[in-house]
Structure 1
Amino acid sequence: MEIERKFLVKKIPENLESYPCLTIEQAYLCTDPVVRIRQEDNSYYMTYKGKGMMAREEYNLPLNENAYLHLKAKADGRTITKKRYRIPLGTLTAELDIFSAPRELTLVEVEFSTEEEARSFCPPDWFGEDVTTDSRYHNSNMI
């Protein structure tokens, strides 16, 4: 189960380069339900995501590079690319995504252990509007 909230970004944190960063490419094989493949630096996997906004099923399966490239060809160009910065927020982690394709956009996500924890989360000042329930900001709808 994935439980997360998603926000627009008012201001990118200072010293962004000091945080761990991944280069991510995601290709979508299906969007209803969501079946995507992802390359994070030199790691590859396939993800299934169920329906839902703040909480939904999520399953990850490992892939090797050859399987990733084979499946990527089946995505017909339905691909997004982004850099993901992992920024500590006390016991939580903000994942700041700076998209470069198919359009420029900056979002931040925080994952939680429970829905109660997610609902009670007080975002820091650099977070903008909460877009958790706005399906336009699901990665699968941005392709």
Structure 2
Amino acid sequence: MEIERKFLVKKMPEDLETYPCLLIEQAYLCTDPVVRIRRQDNSYYMTYKGKGMMVREEYNLPLNEKAYLHLKAKADGHIIAKKRYRIPLGTLTAELDIFSVPKELTLVEVEFSTEDEALSFCPPDWFGEDVTSDSRYHNSNMI
């Protein structure tokens, strides 16, 4: 189960380059339900995501590079690329995504253990509008 809230970014956090950064490429095999493959640095995954906005089913399966490349060819160009910075927020982590493909966009996500924790979250000042319930900001809808 994935419980997350998603926000636009009002201003970039200070010292962004000091935080861990991942290079991510995602290709979508299907968007209803969402079935995607991901290359995250040198790791590969296939993910199934169920319906929902803040709370939804999510299952990850490991892939190897050969399987990733084979499946990527079947994505018909439905690919996104982004840099992900992992920024500590106390006991939580903000995942700041800077997209380069298919368009330039910056979003920040925070994952939670419970719905109550998600609903009581008070975002820091650098977060912008909460777009958790806006399906236009699901990665699968950006392709």
Fold shared per TM-score above 0.5: yes
TM-superposed CA distance for 1:14, in Å, is 1.2
Q: Give deviations 1:78-98, integer Å, cap 9, x for gaps.
A: 000000000000000000000
- AA aligned opposite 1:7: F
- Which whole-Å CA distance do the structure 2 matches of 1:77 and 1:12 have between them? 30
Q: Percent identity?
A: 89
Q: Runs of 4+ in structure 1 displaced over 2 angstroms?
A: none
Structure 2 counterpart SS, 1:53: coil
Task: Report whether the alignment pairs 1:101 with 2:105.
Answer: no
Which residue in the other structure is 2:8 paired with?
8
TM-score with structure 2 length normalisation?
Answer: 1.00
The equivalent of 1:70 in structure 2 is 70
Equivalent positions of 1:43-82 (< 5 A) are 43-82=43-82
Q: Once the 2 structures are TM-superposed, how far is the Cα of residue 44 of structure 1 from its aligned partner? A: 0.1
Letter in 2 for 1:45: Y
TM-score, L = length of structure 1: 1.00
One-letter code of the match for 2:91? Answer: T
SS at match of 1:46: strand
* Residue equivalent to 1:40: 40
The DSSP-based 3-state class of the residue aligned with 1:69 is helix
What amino acid does structure 1 have at the position aligned with 2:10?
Answer: K
CA RMSD of aligned residues (A): 0.2
Partner letter of residue 23 of structure 1?
A: L
Note the C-alpha offset of 1:105: 0.1
1:79-98 mapped onto 2 (5 Å cutoff): 79-98=79-98
- In structure 2, distance between residues paired with 1:25 and 1:66: 15
5+ unaligned residues in a row in structure 1: which ranges?
none
How many correspondences in the alignment?
143
Q: Distance in 2 between matches of 1:120 and 1:45?
A: 31
Residues 95-116 of structure 1: CA distance to partner in whole angstroms, max 9, x if unpaired?
Answer: 0000000000000000000000
In the aligned structure 2, how far is the partner of 1:45 from the partner of 1:142? 19
